[in-house]
Amino acid sequence: MAQFNSIEEILEKYIPKEELQKVHRGLYGFDIQDPSHYLKFDPKVKDLADKLKLEVKSFRFPALAEELRKPRIVRIGAIQNSIVEPTDAPIRAQRDSLIKKISSYIAVAADCGVNVLCMQETWNMPFAFCTREKHPWTQFAESAEDGPTTQAMRQLAGRYNMVIVSPILERDESHGDTVWNTAVVISNTGKVIGKTRKNHIPRVGDFNESTYYMESELGHPVFDTQFGRIAVNICYGRHHPQNWLMYGLNGAEIVFNPSATVDSLSEAFWPIEARNAAIANNYYSVAINRVGTENFAHEFTSGDGRSAHHDFGHFYGSSYVTAPNGARSPGLSRVSDGLLVVEADLNLCRQVKDQWGFRMTQRLDLYAESLAKAVKPDFQPQIIAEK
């Protein structure tokens, strides 16, 4: 099936302008054609982005003006990208070409005034976990604290006064050289604040990730930065509402969801899950997906009766941000590299809590008791049948 650029383009092409305004309000929570919802950048941003063939989109979420609190305005950035070198190129060449590419995109983000930025899952390598081959792919794994990717991102974070979330394949040399799916959180000072790891590992279709790494043992950390309290729910964790819940309970105001997912599997889920999480937990959610089709030298099967194949499928991008009130930005392209810049007032998190009272009515005690029973071997579901 031929790929299309974006849902937004199709809607604009076929729906009359007057009706499109109503459609946008229903789909996004705003009339996204209203120019007040978009940011204005220096003309050099467009020139540089065009040179890099980088789509740049922006959006602004409004919040109420308060008498006792100043606005807490933050610009959030999300980068989606395709790989540069073919997957059979030398490992160093693949990694370094992506570091160079993303570094140029981060420079554009800096020109857009981005304060806190996240890339897609394992952004500095192809998403090779479909192959089940340990080599050469585990050679991409590196130290979260001082590996070459982290060193490069630390320099950029300090240079641009920007918090950078860098999802990588981690090699933990202190614990038996184990491999993890990790996101490194780097302060705007250039120092590593900490790291978090993928809590839920898929075992579906070509997502053979448990061949390489297992579930995180680090819990649901929230990182207190100059630009708000942030957390990282890596990829498959978005399918688990409890995962999103815990970041909210730990005080997150922005939760990034760096992902790698393909159109044949999850595109129907994509616009829903991160948006639902933002609503249920009163924070901003940032869904980021890679783009392109990555081909591998050796065929692999999916265990579903289909013929062996050389590619995972099409990574459909479509990265977007949702506000705590459920309004969401338009998405980036399904087919090209992109930078999404969203201006948000973090005061909106509390404002929505006050409006809806979700936390007040959450009944954590009720569910804690029920879940404590559900994990026991002798658990019986509470089903009542007619006698």
27: enclosing H helix or E strand: helix 17-28
Judged against a pLDDT cut of 80, whether residue 58 lies above it is answered with yes
User: What is the C-alpha separation between 366 and 176, in angstroms, rounded?
Assistant: 40
User: What is the C-alpha separation between 156 and 150, in angstroms, rounded?
Assistant: 10
User: What is the C-alpha separation between 196 and 219, in angstroms, rounded?
Assistant: 8
Q: Does residue 2 lie within any of the structural domains?
A: no
Instruction: Tell me if residue 313 falls in helix, strand or coil.
Output: strand
Burial class from Cβ neighbours inside 10 Å (0-12, 13-18, 19+) for residue 215 reads: middle
Per-residue pLDDT reduced to its tens digit, 364-378: 999 999 999 999 999
Judged against a pLDDT cut of 90, whether residue 148 lies above it is answered with yes
Judged against a pLDDT cut of 80, whether residue 1 lies above it is answered with no
What mean pLDDT comes out for the span 79-95? 98
What mean pLDDT comes out for the span 245-256? 98
Per-residue pLDDT reduced to its tens digit, 35-45: 999 999 999 99
Q: Does residue 9 lie within any of the structural domains?
A: no
**What local confidence, expressed as pLDDT, does residue 31 receive?**
87
**1-10, 144-153, 167-176, 213-222: range with lowest mean pLDDT:** 1-10
CB 245 within 8 A of CB 92: no
What mean pLDDT comes out for the span 300-305? 83
**What local confidence, expressed as pLDDT, does residue 208 receive?**
86
Instruction: Tell me if residue 252 falls in helix, strand or coil.
Output: coil
**What local confidence, expressed as pLDDT, does residue 33 receive?**
86
**What local confidence, expressed as pLDDT, does residue 207 receive?**
87
Catalytic annotation, residues: 121, 198, 235
Q: Does residue 117 lie within any of the structural domains?
A: yes
Q: Does residue 20 lie within any of the structural domains?
A: no
**What local confidence, expressed as pLDDT, does residue 105 receive?**
98
Judged against a pLDDT cut of 80, whether residue 2 lies above it is answered with no
**Structural domains in the chain (count):** 1
CB 83 within 8 A of CB 122: no
155: enclosing H helix or E strand: helix 148-160
The tokens describing 61, both together, are: 């979420």
Per-residue pLDDT reduced to its tens digit, 351-367: 999 999 999 999 999 99
Q: What is the DSSP string of 274-293?
A: HHHHHHHHTSEEEEEE-EEE
Question: Looking up tokens 């229903």, which residue turns up?
Answer: 26
Judged against a pLDDT cut of 90, whether residue 174 lies above it is answered with yes
Cross-strand bridge partners of residue 57: 340
Q: Does residue 379 lie within any of the structural domains?
A: no
- Our measurement of the distance from residue 301's CA atom to the centroid of its chain's CA atoms, rounded to an integer in Å, reads 27
**What local confidence, expressed as pLDDT, does residue 81 receive?**
98
Q: Does residue 289 lie within any of the structural domains?
A: yes
Q: Does residue 12 lie within any of the structural domains?
A: no
311: enclosing H helix or E strand: strand 309-316
Angle between helices 91-111 and 43-52 (to 10 degrees): 160
User: What is the C-alpha separation between 139 and 141, in angstroms, rounded?
Assistant: 5
Per-residue pLDDT reduced to its tens digit, 261-298: 999 899 999 999 999 999 999 999 999 999 999 999 99
Confidence band, pLDDT 50/70/90 cuts, at residue 305: confident
Confidence band, pLDDT 50/70/90 cuts, at residue 380: very high
What is the domain-level CATH number for residue 204?
3.60.110.10
Confidence band, pLDDT 50/70/90 cuts, at residue 304: confident
Instruction: Supply the pTM of this predicted model.
Output: 0.97
Q: Does residue 33 lie within any of the structural domains?
A: no
Q: Residue 71 belongs to what domain range?
A: 38-374
**What local confidence, expressed as pLDDT, does residue 32 receive?**
87
Judged against a pLDDT cut of 80, whether residue 319 lies above it is answered with yes
